[in-house]
């Protein structure tokens, strides 16, 4: 009979971390980042708590990871620790251990509850090589449509879904070399990504892009239904 695995003690402290993916490291996949982060906590000698079972692993919970190729200023995870540490000191140790471009921005105590449940929407900037007049006309056509079906290959095969329903706000403004699209996306199932919105703009508005767009997530967190603004998930209202 196989011996039962050793039961690990529960974490004594949980910390939530906001980090950024910048520059060339925006092409880091979620799996690659998780490996890099686990190496960083080892190098920084973070007193991680571990799961129970035959293959214990550090207690790290990732939430709302951005698509590969997207830059982001608002990626989040939560860690469980076996000892109480100072969040500011941990911030400094992780910043030194991670490569430039994967940058820790904030470390705070977890107030409890689910971090993933607080990530209701994302605020994106989409820099595209297209004339602003063309992009603005496509945005108007998109927003006027009741639904905008798009297709994307998923793990379950080719799926069709309405990308219009997830868009809270969308506007076009001129930028050097093209157009900047300001987009607020509600997190829904199946997930609607910025590139899905670009596909929708092409299908209903004829928006044709010259080259690959630069996608940058500025924020993700709770959605204010009245204003359409995306809040800070690390700040819990009283």
Q: What are the tens digits of pLDDT across the range 35-52?
A: 999 999 999 999 999 988
Q: Calculate the alpha carbon distances from 58 to 11, 77, 91, 95, 110 in Å.
A: 10, 13, 18, 19, 17
Q: Do domains 13-117 and 120-221 have the same CATH topology?
A: yes
The burial of 160, by beta-carbon neighbours within 10 Å (0-12 exposed, 13-18 middle, 19 or more buried), is given as exposed
Of 130, 103, 149, 152, the C-alpha closest to 212 is: 130
35-39, 79-83, 136-140, 157-161: segment of lowest average pLDDT: 157-161
Q: pLDDT tens, 184-210? A: 999 998 899 999 999 999 999 999 998
Please check the confidence at residue 2 and state whether its pLDDT lies above 90: no
Q: 3-state DSSP: the chain helix, strand, coil percent, rounded to 5?
A: 25, 35, 40
- Give me the mean pLDDT over the 106-115 stretch: 95
Predicted pLDDT of residue 159 = 85
pTM: 0.92
The CATH number corresponding to 120-221 among 3.40.190, 2.60.40, 3.10.620, 3.30.70 equals 3.30.70
- Give me the mean pLDDT over the 99-108 stretch: 97
Q: pLDDT tens, 116-138? A: 999 999 999 999 999 999 999 99
Please check the confidence at residue 1 and state whether its pLDDT lies above 60: no
- What's the fold here for domain 13-117? Alpha-Beta Plaits (3.30.70)
Predicted pLDDT of residue 132 = 97
Find tokens 């204003």 and name the residue.
227
* Domain-wise residue ranges, the chain: 13-117, 120-221
Is the C-alpha dihedral spanning 156, 186, 173, 103 positive or negative?
A: negative
Predicted pLDDT of residue 55 = 81
Please check the confidence at residue 221 and state whether its pLDDT lies above 80: yes
| Residues 195/188, Cβ–Cβ less than 8 Å | no
Confidence of residue 6 (pLDDT cuts 50, 70, 90): low
Please check the confidence at residue 54 and state whether its pLDDT lies above 90: no
């Amino acid at each position: 009979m196989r011996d039962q695995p050793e039961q690990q003690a529960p974490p004594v402290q949980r910390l939530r971390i906001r980090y950024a993916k910048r520059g060339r490291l925006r092409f880091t996949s979620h799996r690659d980042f998780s490996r890099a982060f686990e190496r960083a906590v080892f190098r920084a000698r973070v007193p991680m708590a571990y799961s129970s079972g035959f293959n214990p692993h550090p207690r790290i919970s990732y939430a709302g990871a951005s698509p590969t190729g997207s830059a982001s200023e608002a990626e989040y995870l939560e860690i469980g620790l076996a000892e109480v540490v100072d969040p500011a000191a941990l911030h400094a140790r992780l910043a030194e251990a991670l490569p430039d471009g994967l940058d820790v921005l904030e470390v705070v105590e977890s107030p409890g509850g689910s971090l993933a449940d607080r990530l209701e929407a994302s605020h994106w900037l989409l820099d595209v090589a297209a004339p602003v007049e063309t992009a603005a006309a496509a945005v108007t056509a998109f927003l006027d449509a009741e639904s905008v079906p798009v297709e994307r290959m998923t793990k379950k095969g080719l799926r069709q879904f309405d990308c219009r329903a997830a868009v809270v706000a969308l506007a076009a403004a001129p930028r050097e070399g093209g157009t900047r699209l300001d987009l607020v996306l509600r997190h829904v199932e199946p997930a609607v990504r910025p590139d899905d919105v670009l596909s929708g703009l092409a299908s209903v508005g004829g928006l044709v892009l010259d080259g690959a767009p630069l996608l940058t997530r500025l924020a993700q967190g709770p959605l204010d239904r009245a204003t359409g603004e995306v809040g800070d998930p690390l700040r819990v209202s009283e």
